[in-house]
Amino acid sequence: MIFVTVGTQAPFDRLIKLVDEWAKSSEVECFAQTSKGSYTPKYIEHKEFLTEQEFNKVFAKASVIISHAGMGTIISSLREGKTLLTFPRLAKYKEHRNDHQLATTKAFSQKGYIYPIFTEKHLKEHLSRLNELRCLKRIGDQANDDLLTFLRDI
């Protein structure tokens, strides 16, 4: 199952629409936490907001997480050994006030922690080979010194 999450602070219609369009011709189960976006998915199950209990249940069931570049989702995915595709919100589309999510995605990608998604093409390429994707790195409950240094640097 794929879990698409956009966090709780703002909608991310661009991501939700891309996954929804892909799901139209896919048999893969998808669930999206959408926030209050203007786009309503047609092909994937969705809910605007999830309680912590609902989020944890869907997160546990999912083998693949597709997310904005939110640190909470990134750290949780790495800790739980989830395959993570990160699609940053971009300022040029008014999805965020700056491009810190782009910088976060690039940094975690360069360290080999995540699959970065920068374009619709990247997303489609990764989704076309879902069976090949895996958790790239897993972290424990206690971060090692290298990870802490890396997080401070970004």
The predicted structure's pLDDT at residue 148: 65
The predicted structure's pLDDT at residue 122: 92
Report, in angstroms and rounded to the nearest whole number, the Rg of the chain calculated over CA atoms: 15
Domain range for 84: 2-153
For residue 45, give the CATH number of its domain.
Answer: 3.40.50.2000
- For the chain, 154 residues long, the average pLDDT of each consecutive 10-residue run is 92 96 96 95 96 96 96 93 95 85 92 94 94 91 68 68
Alpha helical stretches, state H, the chain: 13-23, 52-61, 71-80, 100-110, 120-127, 145-153
Give the chain's domain count.
1
The predicted structure's pLDDT at residue 39: 96
Phi-psi label, residue 67: left if phi above 0, alpha if psi -120 to 50, beta otherwise: beta
